[in-house]
Chain A
């Protein structure tokens, strides 16, 4: 049953990958949508069954994958509360994005269209393996798989150099993180002798909380390195903004709603492990907060609509890591879940704008689109309000939960982290509404759209004629801006509704709610009963199992913030502050980009240094290029290529040849051609041999 969830999209991939060229668009697109929707249906059924199950989790062992000595890795899928939420998000939002894509990618040729959908299905399949995997290696399969699909989809328009480069960049940067993941996996196996999440958690639970660089701390730091790669955190966030070279629905699916949250999910999955390493948690919180703030400031000045959203994603992911870092795992996952809705909505909305403007992505060339694109405008506005944290929308609840839990956490720098979070919240509201005002309000700054369907893809030569045909069908060949077609509008509307209501599963206690999502998720962050039982049995067998109970209490004490001391009034006050911040952010955006545009330009001119620093993204790409890329290139060309490969390896091979050649050149002089010389040497040889036998004794 569980296997069907990733298997269905995989079948969709197989069909589209092998027969897609011969299928028409409606068949290949419909098949892909059907596969992911069926997977969604199976997910819903599985989750319902899981909730009815007394153990609170379902597990399916598909086959024994690796068995060697102490190592035994079954290919197991496990559905518990945490992965239940994730598969619903992945398949649900994934389905909407698939449907949206049928409209958005309509200008592609049949073959390209099928290729696109096969990648999309493959991605969903791997993401589901990642989420459902019951052990680190199985998760790693999905982890690598989504990395691969990310590469394929970012570089989907590979004829365009920047897209191909962005794909490679994403792949290579992710690889750095994966290396941390693999090392962590080996270390965990060496330390605990198992790779199953439950068993690792149970084993870690029996250990003391580490207050230095113990084995758990090192392992979790390495895991976090993997998370920074996949989830675009400092220092490995650089690939995500470039990933906007891919088609917009891809950005929505991979780079907002699902794949980039894998790192957050992975930390949630290993919550027990992370709880035992306070040092790692502090690092996670600090990196999260720093990323949130940095990406927020960059987002403030970017001019490409998708890049603004990309930095916003990085910033929101920083929030999630902040929550994970202060031990508020449920809050982090809650934000992941609400963020999936409104960020997918915002990306798809921006996709609708780009589609309507025939590929225009520069905010400076937009404006006044409100009356041309009513559906897009209103849904986009809801998304922007939700991400800004305006009360009663989903983003408000999750963001507020994170800020509250940060404020009350036992982390020594809790107040500082909270301040950073609050400033980021202000920035979020400001840059999102800057986007809204620049794109949808004011006057048109854009001429009639050019006659190509996707100048996002600069070289549409291969299917130029086809693109025109699609244009006429859409009826915007004559410069009229059209709103999203139904296949795109419906997902937008569904996501907009989701962005409003998704937060109501986590209404905090202070507002009279019961924070259902937290109590729902909480079991997943603890050691499950069955795993604890086996571990206790094992511990009893060991003589050293005595000190367990006390240690575990200490871990819990660290994990749970002392909520009672602060109480509901503090939470209400923080809530009021963050609502005020959201409104203030919107007001700032309104003043600068709606009311008084020259003020914004004037500000940019007066603070020219900061402005250009932000516009160039703190020159991080340049610094990386100079400090990492160029040295590696230098070593590779000068050292490894010219030095080792050309000089040493080729030299050895060629040297053998040269030696033999020179030796033969010298030896062939012996062959004189003179018969009597030969006879003489023959005679001499015989004399020597006979002499040897006669006189050897």
Chain B
């Protein structure tokens, strides 16, 4: 039986990788993928803690998160396509017109 701490550490590692991806990558699609990694890190925590308490609550809420993530990916990709049509680039630093 794998103890809970292992899951939590793995989840922390995944979350950090996702965060680093969001901050360091220069591609909008990669950033979206990194966000997915962060979400799945959270999903892993839910499932692990649910299993640890012997309940199904963690698995149920994971389904909710996955639904939201799917919706987010759909909207996010649509926005990325729209932005790309405008500027022919996926670099997030190119889109800074919304200021002051």
Residues of A near any B CB (own CB < 8 A): 668-669, 671-676, 679-680, 683
Q: Which residue of A lies closest to B25 (CB)?
A: A676
Q: Which residue of A lies closest to B28 (CB)?
A: A675
Given A674-B96, A675-B95, A676-B93, 7 more contacts at CB 8 Å?
Answer: A672-B96, A673-B96, A673-B99, A674-B99, A676-B22, A676-B92, A683-B19
Verify B98–A673 contact, CB threshold 8 A: yes
**C-alpha spacing A683/B19, complex, angstroms:** 9
Q: Which residue of B lies closest to A672 (CB)?
A: B99
**C-alpha spacing A332/B76, complex, angstroms:** 102
**C-alpha spacing A669/B96, complex, angstroms:** 13
> How many whole Å from B30's CB to the nearest CB in chain A?
12
Verify B22–A679 contact, CB threshold 8 A: yes
**C-alpha spacing A680/B97, complex, angstroms:** 18
Contact with A along B55-71 (1 / 0, CB 8 A): 00000000000000000
Contact with A along B26-47 (1 / 0, CB 8 A): 0000000000000000000000
Contact with A along B77-100 (1 / 0, CB 8 A): 000000000000000110111111
> How many whole Å from B36's CB to the nearest CB in chain A?
15
**Contact among B19, B23, B92, B100 for A668, CB-based, below 8 A:** B100
**Contact among A669, A671, A680 for B23, CB-based, below 8 A:** A680
**C-alpha spacing A672/B22, complex, angstroms:** 18
Can you spell out 19 A-B residue pairs with CB atoms less than 8 angstroms apart?
A: A668-B100, A669-B100, A671-B99, A671-B100, A673-B96, A673-B97, A673-B98, A673-B99, A673-B100, A674-B92, A674-B96, A674-B99, A675-B92, A676-B22, A676-B23, A676-B92, A676-B93, A679-B23, A680-B23
> How many whole Å from B37's CB to the nearest CB in chain A?
15
Verify A674–B93 contact, CB threshold 8 A: yes
> How many whole Å from A679's CB to the nearest CB in chain B?
6
**C-alpha spacing A679/B100, complex, angstroms:** 18
Residues of B within 8 A of A679 (CB): 22-23
**C-alpha spacing A669/B93, complex, angstroms:** 17
> How many whole Å from B26's CB to the nearest CB in chain A?
10
Residues of A within 8 A of B23 (CB): 676, 679-680, 683
**C-alpha spacing A672/B93, complex, angstroms:** 11
Q: Is the interface of A mostly helix, strand, loop or mixed?
A: helix
Residues of A within 8 A of B95 (CB): 673, 675
Residues of B within 8 A of A675 (CB): 92, 95
Q: Report the interface size class on chain B.
A: 10 to 19
Q: Which residue of B lies closest to A676 (CB)?
A: B92
> How many whole Å from B35's CB to the nearest CB in chain A?
10
> How many whole Å from A673's CB to the nearest CB in chain B?
3
**C-alpha spacing A668/B99, complex, angstroms:** 8
Residues of B within 8 A of A668 (CB): 100
Q: Which residue of A lies closest to B99 (CB)?
A: A673
Task: Identify the 5 closest CB pairs spanning chains A and B, nearest first.
Answer: A673-B99, A673-B96, A673-B98, A674-B96, A671-B99
Residues of B within 8 A of A671 (CB): 99-100
**C-alpha spacing A679/B24, complex, angstroms:** 12
**C-alpha spacing A672/B92, complex, angstroms:** 13
Q: Which residue of A lies closest to B98 (CB)?
A: A673
> How many whole Å from A274's CB to the nearest CB in chain B?
78
Q: Which residue of B lies closest to A669 (CB)?
A: B100
Residues of A within 8 A of B22 (CB): 676, 679
**C-alpha spacing A673/B97, complex, angstroms:** 6
**C-alpha spacing A260/B32, complex, angstroms:** 95
Residues of A within 8 A of B97 (CB): 673
Q: Which residue of A lies closest to B100 (CB)?
A: A668
> How many whole Å from B8's CB to the nearest CB in chain A?
15
Q: Which residue of B lies closest to A674 (CB)?
A: B96
**C-alpha spacing A683/B22, complex, angstroms:** 11
**C-alpha spacing A359/B84, complex, angstroms:** 93
> How many whole Å from B39's CB to the nearest CB in chain A?
15
> How many whole Å from B81's CB to the nearest CB in chain A?
16
**C-alpha spacing A671/B97, complex, angstroms:** 11
Residues of B within 8 A of A680 (CB): 23
> How many whole Å from B88's CB to the nearest CB in chain A?
18
> How many whole Å from B93's CB to the nearest CB in chain A?
6
Residues of A within 8 A of B96 (CB): 672-674
**C-alpha spacing A683/B24, complex, angstroms:** 14
**C-alpha spacing A680/B96, complex, angstroms:** 15
Choose among A668, A675, A680 the residue with the greatest number of B CB atoms under 10 Å from its CB.
Answer: A675
Choose among B19, B96, B97 the residue with the greatest number of A CB atoms under 10 Å from its CB.
Answer: B96
Residues of A within 8 A of B92 (CB): 674-676
> How many whole Å from B49's CB to the nearest CB in chain A?
17
Residues of B within 8 A of A674 (CB): 92-93, 96, 99
> How many whole Å from B90's CB to the nearest CB in chain A?
12
Residues of A within 8 A of B99 (CB): 671-674
Q: Which residue of A lies closest to B93 (CB)?
A: A674
Residues of B within 8 A of A669 (CB): 100
**C-alpha spacing A403/B71, complex, angstroms:** 112
Q: Which residue of A lies closest to B35 (CB)?
A: A679
**C-alpha spacing A680/B23, complex, angstroms:** 7
> How many whole Å from A694's CB to the nearest CB in chain B?
14
> How many whole Å from B31's CB to the nearest CB in chain A?
8
Residues of B within 8 A of A676 (CB): 22-23, 92-93
**C-alpha spacing A404/B26, complex, angstroms:** 116
Choose among B23, B97, B100 the residue with the greatest number of A CB atoms under 10 Å from its CB.
Answer: B100
Choose among A668, A672, A674, A676 the residue with the greatest number of B CB atoms under 10 Å from its CB.
Answer: A676
**C-alpha spacing A548/B92, complex, angstroms:** 103
**C-alpha spacing A671/B96, complex, angstroms:** 10
Q: Which residue of A lies closest to B26 (CB)?
A: A676
**C-alpha spacing A673/B98, complex, angstroms:** 5
Residues of B within 8 A of A672 (CB): 96, 99
> How many whole Å from A275's CB to the nearest CB in chain B?
83
Q: Which residue of B lies closest to A683 (CB)?
A: B19
> How many whole Å from B71's CB to the nearest CB in chain A?
19
Q: Which residue of A lies closest to B92 (CB)?
A: A675
**C-alpha spacing A668/B100, complex, angstroms:** 6
**C-alpha spacing A668/B95, complex, angstroms:** 18
> How many whole Å from B76's CB to the nearest CB in chain A?
12
> How many whole Å from B21's CB to the nearest CB in chain A?
11
> How many whole Å from B62's CB to the nearest CB in chain A?
21
**C-alpha spacing A92/B100, complex, angstroms:** 82
> How many whole Å from B11's CB to the nearest CB in chain A?
15
Residues of A within 8 A of B100 (CB): 668-669, 671, 673
Q: Which residue of B lies closest to A679 (CB)?
A: B22
**C-alpha spacing A672/B97, complex, angstroms:** 9
**C-alpha spacing A638/B100, complex, angstroms:** 43
**C-alpha spacing A669/B100, complex, angstroms:** 6
